[in-house]
C-alpha cells in the first residue's frame, strides 16, 4: 500500500505508518499538484487545509481510504467518496482533552481581559480600571454541543462552581443527567440565561451560521462567547456587529 501524507502529522504517526506501508510525506502541495499525483496512492491523510472534493477523487482510481488527522470532515466530500467505495475515517478522540483545556483557557482570558491587558502593558499603559473582568464562580455557562469535547468542558467548568446548561438535540436525557448538566430545548431557551457561551458542534449544513444576528440579540449584553469548534458555525459578520454595537461583552 502507498500512503500520501499531505499535511503535517506527528513524527510517531509517520514512523508507525512506515512500518506498515510505503509512505510519502508531501506538504504544501497545490491543488493541481495533488491532482497530478494522487492516482499513484492507495491512501491519503489530510488535516483541515487540503480539500478532498469530487475533482480530486476523479483523479484517484486507486484510492481506498482517506484519513482525517482530527475530527471534522467538512473538507472531504464523504458522499462522493462513499459512492466510489472509498472509506473515510477520522480521529475524534485524538485532541478532545486539548480542545477542552483550550476552551477553559479562552474562557478565562475572555473573563479577565488578558489579551487586552497584555497589549496595554506592552505599550506601558498600566491602567486597569476597565480591565478587572469577572469571576467564573456562580456564573451560568451555556454549552452548544454536548459531545466529546462539550462534555469534557462541562465537567471541568463544574469545578469552578458554574451553573452548566447545554443545548444538543442529539444527546440523551440520561447523559445530561449523568453529567449534571441542565438541558435547554432550544437556543432561544439557552442563550438569554448565559453569562458565557461555548460552541462545540461539528460543522455541517445544519450548524453553519447557527449563531447569527437573531441569536446575538437573545444574549445578555454582558455575555462572552467562545468558539472552539469550526469557523462558520458563528456568522462572523453577526459577531462583528454584536461586538461593535456592544450587544455582547466579548468573544
Which pLDDT does position 94 carry in this prediction? 79
Which pLDDT does position 167 carry in this prediction? 98
3-state secondary structure string across the chain: CEEEECCCCCHHHHHHHHHHCEEEECCCCCHHHHHHHHHHCCEEEECCCCCECHHHHHCCCCCCEEEECCCCCCCECHHHHHHCCCEEEECCCCCHHHHHHHHHHHHHHHHCCHHHHHHHHHCCCCCCCCCCCCCCCCCEEEEECCCHHHHHHHHHHHHHCCEEEEECCCCCHHHHHHHCCEECCCHHHHHHHCCEEEECCCCCCCCCCCECHHHHHHCCCCCEEEECCCCCCECHHHHHHHHHCCCCCEC
- The DSSP bridge partners found for residue 88 are 66
Which pLDDT does position 41 carry in this prediction? 98
Domains, the chain: 2-90 (3.40.50.720), 96-244 (3.40.50.720)
pLDDT tens sequence across 111-128: 999 999 999 999 999 888
Which pLDDT does position 72 carry in this prediction? 81
Q: Write out residues in the chain with pLDDT < 50, as ranges.
A: none
Which pLDDT does position 78 carry in this prediction? 95
Cα separation, 49 vs 72, whole angstroms: 11
What's the predicted TM-score (pTM) here? 0.80
Amino acid at each position: 500500500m502507498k500512503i500520501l501524507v499531505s499535511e503535517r502529522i506527528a513524527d510517531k504517526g509517520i514512523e508507525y505508518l512506515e512500518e506498515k506501508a510505503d509512505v510519502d510525506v508531501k506538504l504544501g502541495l497545490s491543488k493541481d499538484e495533488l491532482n497530478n499525483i494522487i492516482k499513484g496512492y492507495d491512501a491519503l491523510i489530510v488535516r483541515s487545509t487540503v480539500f478532498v472534493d469530487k475533482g480530486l477523487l476523479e483523479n484517484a482510481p486507486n484510492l481506498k481510504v482517506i484519513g482525517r488527522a482530527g475530527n471534522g470532515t467538512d473538507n472531504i466530500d464523504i458522499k462522493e467518496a462513499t459512492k466510489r467505495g472509498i472509506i473515510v475515517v477520522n480521529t475524534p478522540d485524538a485532541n478532545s482533552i486539548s480542545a477542552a483545556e483550550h476552551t477553559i483557557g479562552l474562557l478565562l482570558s475572555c473573563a479577565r481581559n488578558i489579551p487586552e491587558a497584555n497589549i496595554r502593558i506592552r505599550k506601558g499603559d498600566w491602567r486597569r480600571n476597565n480591565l478587572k473582568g469577572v469571576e467564573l464562580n456562580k456564573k451560568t455557562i451555556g454549552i452548544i454541543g454536548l459531545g466529546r469535547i462539550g462534555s469534557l468542558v462541562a465537567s471541568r467548568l463544574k469545578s469552578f462552581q458554574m451553573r452548566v446548561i447545554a443545548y444538543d438535540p442529539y444527546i440523551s436525557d440520561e447523559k445530561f443527567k449523568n453529567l449534571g448538566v441542565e438541558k435547554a430545548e432550544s437556543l432561544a431557551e439557552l442563550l438569554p440565561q448565559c453569562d458565557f457561551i461555548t460552541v462545540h458542534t461539528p460543522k455541517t449544513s445544519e450548524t453553519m451560521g447557527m449563531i447569527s444576528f437573531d441569536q446575538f440579540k437573545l444574549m445578555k449584553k454582558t455575555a462572552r462567547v467562545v468558539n472552539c469548534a469550526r469557523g462558520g458555525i458563528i456568522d462572523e459578520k453577526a459577531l462583528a456587529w454584536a461586538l461593535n454595537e456592544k450587544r455582547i461583552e466579548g468573544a
